Structure 1
Amino acid sequence: MKKIVAGVTAAVLAGAGVLSTPSGAAADAAPGDIIITLGEDLSDEEREMVLSEMDGDEQDQIVEVTNEEEHEYLGEFIPSGEIGSNAISSSQITIAEAGSGIDVDTNRINYVTEGMYANALVTAGVEDAEIYVTAPFEVSGTGALTGIIKAYEIETDIDIDEDQKRVANEELVRTGELSENHGTEEATELMARIKEEISEEDVETEEDLRNLIERIADEVGVTLTDEEMDGLVSLFERMQNLDIDWDRVQNQIGQIRDNIDEWMSSEEAQGFVQSVLDFFSEMIDTVRGWLEGSGGSESNS
């Protein structure tokens, strides 16, 4: 089981490109409200197992996700083999208090990272929610992404534009590809910085956008290939055509940065860091013991 901590919060920043939605979109959704998504191809036993893991049951609000829906929204950006032929991954969405941000926890998901989920969710306009993604065995997790967005539409009674969904999925994949080639931290910081700069600068032409991306990539320490550059230019042009509220983007990124700073100064964060340091200290002591033992044996022979 994996939890978003410091490194993954950068991915949330990268996903702060909130597409324009009516203010108060989630007015009918109250903190504590829960909706569950289940892959349509779960067996009865697997379905029961997943519901039990999420402390849910058949009486909860449940949305089923089909493999056809997965391919519809992700097929243009993710290889068919990664999507698979069965909808298995499932999720639980709990509405959180305003200002809480998005918290993603996963179990047995081996392709989509917590940060990639956060990217797509915030881009689609999802805010202040606790997300738990799981499956009865190791799966890619792409079906859960489709399901969460579908569940959000139902919970908030809003129909998200099909182009918005596709842009959210494209951003998810672009960030994942950049992460593979340049590292998760660098890729997510690059995406966040581009959005911050777009919210502050006048970007009117493709050349303006290309120059902005190139400058920020250089500042972050990422050398983009021509293909990566063209992909980012295309992505952000599509976002601009969807009339993104860039002021809201900037506010969202600022709020998330404040949440990160607050968490890092908390006792929970300090305890986490100390546990990591203790682990490495013990590991070094163990290795030192092995080396000393090995050296003594050789001298005696």
Structure 2
Amino acid sequence: MKIKTIFTKLIVLLMAVCIISPLSGNVVHADAYKVVTLGGNLTDAQKEQMLKYFGVSRQEANVIEVNIDEEKKYLSDVASSDQIGTKSISCAYVEPTSSGGLNVTTNNIYWVSSSMIKNALITAGIKNANVKAAAPFNVSGTAALTGILKGFENSSAGSKIDENKKKVANDELMTTGDLGQKIGKDKAAGVVNDIKKQVIQDKPKDDAEVRKIVENVTNNYNLNLSSQDIDKLTSLMNKINGLNLNFGDLKGQLNDVSSKLKGAIGSEQAQQAKGFFSKFMDSIANFFSNLF
């Protein structure tokens, strides 16, 4: 009887362990839908610094690394060797969500902006996610999108992204970045987004129709772009047109980007005008001061 009692207790204990084990496993990996991608060439100390910045530990998120070969895979056709570099530095925090749209922030990224990254993510087909692109020191951020897309695919809430969409999204980021060097990052993101919106909506039949959309939008922005810039934008938009994106699915995202960028551009122009007026008044004051 005593043996039977002991045996019964052992069975109960075993069942309890079986029940508790998966529950405790779920607690450990409760935030596995969060992914952090780290530049493979960072030091161990820098990697820990980035985890701290993103506010997660290795137990709370899926932490993976991105190497320079992965970056070259998507950038070699659209970026120079100088733009790509020789080391993988950029990092990303990716948290797919069920709603709320795309929320993108950057830190220590100087060449691309959060709006450029957001535009590229829309092209890649991502609708809802919290994204942070960052580095332990100032970098261009040309490879940030590679890490973000890898992070999205490796999250439990993410899914495999079409390879062609990845390449076109990276092309969009680089083309917008190049244009941003000439006309300003926010304005460049606004121009590319407006052209893209028109292309996706109209589905132009050939290169000539795509070029006409590019020229119309750039003229609306009063931009005097070179023929080379127009060629680059037309080439990019031909690729986007080839993705057969659904305007109805993306309309809300594209309009949201447009409205926010127009506000940012208007604020930037107002600041420039304010600065010009202030300098003008200072010059008048200095003139009369020197006169008397």
TM-score range, shorter chain: 0.7 to 0.9
Q: 1 CA distance for matches of 2:186 and 2:111?
A: 17
One-letter amino acid of the structure 2 residue matched with residue 251 of structure 1: G
Alignment match, 2:210: 209
* Cross-structure match for 1:244: 245
Aligned to 1:154: 154
Instruction: Trace 1:126-137 onto structure 2 (pairs within 5 A).
Output: 126-137=126-137
Equivalent-residue separation in structure 1 for 2:217 and 2:258 (angstroms): 18
* Number of equivalenced pairs: 248
- Displacement after TM superposition at 1:137 (Å): 1.9
In 2 relative to 1, CA 95–163 (structure 1 residues): closer, same or farther, beyond 3 Å? closer
Question: Partners in 2 of 1:234 and 1:167 — Cα distance?
Answer: 10
What displacement does 1:149 show?
A: 0.5
In structure 1, stretches of 5+ residues that fail to align are 1-29
- Structure-1 residue corresponding to 2:109: 109
- 1:61 maps to 62
What runs of 5+ residues in structure 2 fail to find an aligned partner? 1-29
Indicate if the aligned counterparts of 1:195 and 1:250 stay in contact, CA closer than 8 A: no
Q: Deviations over 1:136-192 (max 9, x none)?
A: 222222333211111111224532222211111111111111222223343222222
1:8-58 Cα distance to aligned partner (Å, 9 max, x none): xxxxxxxxxxxxxxxxxxxxxx99942111111221111111111222112
Distance change (3 Å), C-alpha of 1:201 and 1:82: closer
User: What's the CA shift for 1:257?
Assistant: 5.4
Aligned pairs for 1:54-203 (under 5 A) are 54-59=54-59, 60-96=61-97, 98=99, 100-155=100-155, 156-201=157-202, 203=204
Contact 1:40 1:88 in 2 (8 A): yes
Contact 2:105 2:132 (C-alpha < 8 Å) held by counterparts: yes
Greater helix proportion = 2
Matches within 5 A, 1:237-276: 237-256=238-257, 260=260
AA aligned to 1:35 is: V
2:202 partner amino acid: E
In structure 1, what is the Cα distance between the partners aligned to 2:87 and 2:32? 30
Question: Cα deviations across residues 217-275 of structure 1 (Å, max 9, x unaligned)?
Answer: 111211232212222222122222222223323232234557x49xx8xxxx9xxx9xx
Secondary structure at the counterpart of residue 108 of structure 1: strand
User: SS of the residue aligned with 2:36?
Assistant: strand
Residues 189 and 141 (structure 1), Cα distance of their counterparts in 2 relative to 1, 3 Å cut: closer
> Based on CA coordinates, which of the two structures has the bigger radius of gyration?
2
Moved more, 194-203 or 112-121: 194-203
In structure 1, the residue matched to 2:229 is 228
Structure with bigger RCO (C-alpha 8 Å, 6+ apart): 1
Is the 2:190–2:258 Cα contact (8 Å) retained in structure 1? no
**Matching of residue 39 in structure 1 with residue 39 in structure 2:** yes
Partner Cα separation in structure 1 for residue 98 and residue 31 of structure 2: 5
Distance in 2 of aligned mates of 1:196 and 1:50: 35
Q: TM-score, normalization: structure 2?
A: 0.73
Q: Using the TM superposition, name which of 182-191 and 115-124 deviates more.
A: 182-191
Distance 2:103 2:244 in 1: 27
* SS of match in other structure, 2:109: coil
Q: Is the 8 A contact 1:33 1:94 kept in 2?
A: yes
Counterpart in the other structure of 2:25:
none
Alpha-carbon contact 2:104-2:132 (below 8 Å) kept = yes
Q: In percent, how many aligned pairs have the same letter?
A: 30
Question: Is the Cα–Cα contact under 8 Å of residues 39 and 88 in structure 1 kept in the other structure?
Answer: yes
Counterpart secondary structure, 1:93: strand
Q: TM-score, normalised by structure 1?
A: 0.71
The answer as to whether partners of 2:107 and 2:133 remain within 8 angstroms in 1 is yes
- Per the alignment, residue 12 of structure 2 pairs with none
Conserved? CA contact 1:31–1:95, under 8 Å: no
Matched letter for residue 224 of structure 1: L
Q: In the superposition, relative to structure 1, how do residues 142 and 45 fare at CA in structure 2: closer, same or farther (>3 Å)?
A: same
